[in-house]
Amino acid sequence: MFEKLEVFRVSQGLATHAAARQSSIAQNVAHADTPGYRARDLAPFAESYRAQGPTGMRATRAGHVFAGESNLVSVGAGEVLRPGALSPNGNSVSLETEMMMSAEVQHDHELALSVYRSSLNILRTSIGRR
């Protein structure tokens, strides 16, 4: 019963997504001077989570569940090209953008760990092992 709690699966998925996204950002930084290189990113976690199947969520009023639109171009396996201005050599990597994305990824990872820790504490408290 406890080995398949949804909250643990989702927090693990968010942490895994954050790690993969951080890897993609690191590759962008490594190719910051490569002519013709286009900045890559991963599709947002919410989109990949929704693609796994129905979550049971439903909109009860207009604007209740934000669908969100993405202007990212898919490259394959969850990877997308991030839109942005091209430098004269055709490179679209902006180190400032990569730094901001890295901070966002760190926040996502911390969120996943916080949810996991809180859920684990709730389980421990419920069985009397605090």
- The total domain count for the chain is 1
Surface-to-core class of residue 80, CB atoms within 10 Å of its CB (0-12 exposed, 13-18 middle, 19+ buried): buried
Between CA 81 and CA 101 the distance in angstroms is: 14
Which domain covers residue 44, as residue numbers?
2-126
Higher pLDDT, 129 or 60: 129
**Phi, psi of 93, rounded to the nearest 5 degrees:** -80, 130
Structure tokens at 103: 């901070």
Whole-angstrom Cα Rg for the chain: 18
Total-model pTM: 0.73
Average pLDDT of the chain, as a whole number:
81
Name the percent of the chain lying above pLDDT 90: 45
**Residue 50 in this model has a pLDDT that exceeds 90:** no
